[in-house]
Amino acid sequence: MKTNVTNAKLLLVLLSVVALWITLTVLLNSTKIWTAIELPISFHRWNVITKPSWSEAPPRPVVSAAETQLKIKQIMEKLDQLIPPRPFTHINTTTSATHSTATILNPRDTYCTGNQLDILLEARDHLGHQKEYGGDFLRARMSSPALKAGASGKVTDFNNGTYLVSFTLFWEGQVSLSVLLIHPSEGASALWRARNQGYDRVIFTGQFSSGTTKVNTDCALVLNSSAELCQYLDAEDQEAFYCLKPQHMPCAALVHMHSKNTKVSYLSKQERSLFERSNLGVEILKNFNAISVSKCNQGTVPVKKKCKFGMTSTIPSGHVWKDSWKPVSCSLAPVEMKECLRGKFIYLMGDSTVRQWMEYFKTSIDTLKPVDLHETGKLQHQLAVDLDRNINIQWQKHGYPLIGSISYSVKEIEYIARAIDRTGGEKNTIIVISLGQHFRPFPIDVFIKRVLNVHKAVQRLLLRSPDTLVVIKAENIREMNNDVERFSDFHGYIQYLIIKDIFQDLNVGLIDAWDITIAYGTHDVHPPQNVVGNQINILLNYIC
């Protein structure tokens, strides 16, 4: 009897152990089981080495690295078709602004406001031979300096050496027409080929600090070195930046960065002759007389609706009149800035062209007080608040690559996508993103990948907070003769097309700074305050 009781107890213990084992197995494998029956999910983790975070974003669909690479490849293929290789044997066979001819189509004795004026441009080389292919990088503009008026023109490339240049006559008065040959097609082709050959036109120097010891080492997006490297990886989007690891110092000791241009060039000596100052931005229509435009008693002009978020952009998107920006498809109302921004959180993310917005806000709103975030330098994170009106405006720089000859702190550096992921968003939150200028010296896939990653972050934000206002500020045009191989507006124009194409499927606003700065005729990466103010006025009309 005792033996039977003992056996029964042992059996009960054994059954308990088996039951416990089954329970633990189910619990440990529950995540795998859930994943197998649901759509793939992942949870955001902050993986930038220099700045950990303990918060997690909501679950979202996984976009694999392979999918991103496929998208990059598809965009690259489109661009290669847009910018085919052009033969270059001698400068005499390249497009000549002097020898090219321009003819007004259907000329009139009187032009009326609202009319379209078309010019047929026939490109010829320096020997007077007509070109048989397109690809010249042209810039068209009309202006009336006395009226402080200007607008871009639309250029259509027929890919056979002829171009249609169209101007919309927005205002009455004497109007001057201008078409500049920024680069001949052979120059554009050379810039495109050279851009995608290397990462070393700019060298970065990272400063590591440990106690009283400071060590500088080379850093880059790509480092071809057998030495030990520090990898600063954003594991979420697989974007990395590298530094040579200093001896006896950890990678986490990186604190500052600066950069300088190198003497590296991927252009031949013959190709570099295309980018001498005398060959940049040469006027084609210099023999044209000004066009006289009249009102022509066209009756009542229809009243345009107030500009609002989500309106379709046109080419040109507007014009300047008496120093103010006038969009084509809507009207900008005067906005009282303080009241418009009451209760708003404005996040300005990107380069120094949107940092100009921060400076403009601080200058224009006298109740906006800067908050000392204990950082230094022009690239420091900025925050300004108006406590009475609950206005919060901040600017932060984008992640690597960030070009700057003056040393800047990287202790708080982060990618825009990560900053968006940690933003809750709601109807009073406005995010403005500006990317481009710092990417011009690097292969185009670096820019494409960054924009795709920001696009994914904005997509996630609008899923969880669809009433958040997200605005893309396009690039400004800049100086024509400033280190053309690295910073030509040709590079900027390609990036402008890319960012518009990638974001077209999302409900975001576009402030077409590219078109605006052409209309104003500014050739400065940091345009005057009146231009900045007119860009910001578009944002205020979106908000209020």
Average pLDDT of the chain, as a whole number = 88
pLDDT in the model for residue 539: 96
- Please say whether the beta carbons of 220 and 442 come within 8 A: no
Looking at the DSSP bridge assignments, the partners of residue 409 are: 256
d(CA 498, CA 511): 15
| Fold observed for domain 318-543 | Rossmann fold (3.40.50)
pLDDT in the model for residue 135: 96
| DSSP letters spanning 63-102 | --HHHHHHHHHHHHHHHHHHS-----S-GGGSEEEEEEEE
pLDDT in the model for residue 47: 29
pTM of the shown model: 0.86
- Please say whether the beta carbons of 127 and 92 come within 8 A: yes
pLDDT in the model for residue 44: 27
Residue range 379-404, pLDDT digits in tens: 999 999 999 999 999 999 999 999 99
Question: How is residue 30 written in tokens?
Answer: 């529950």
pLDDT in the model for residue 286: 77
pLDDT in the model for residue 288: 79
Cα dihedral 75/76/79/83 (nearest 10)? 180
pLDDT in the model for residue 16: 52
pLDDT in the model for residue 63: 62
Which phi and psi (to 5°) does residue 95 adopt?
A: -65, 135
Which of 110, 129, 117, 206 is CA-nearest to residue 166?
A: 117
Q: Write out residues in the chain with pLDDT < 70, as ranges.
A: 1-63, 299-300
Q: How far are the Cα atoms of 91, 134, 137 from residue 181, in angstroms, in the given order?
A: 14, 12, 6
Looking at the chain, the domain(s) classified CATH 2.60.40.10 span 91-191+279-294
pLDDT in the model for residue 299: 67
Classify burial at 385, counting beta carbons within 10 Å of its beta carbon; exposed 0-12, middle 13-18, buried 19 or more. middle
Residues 91-191+279-294, CATH architecture: Sandwich (2.60)
Looking at the chain, the domain(s) classified CATH 3.40.50.1110 span 318-543
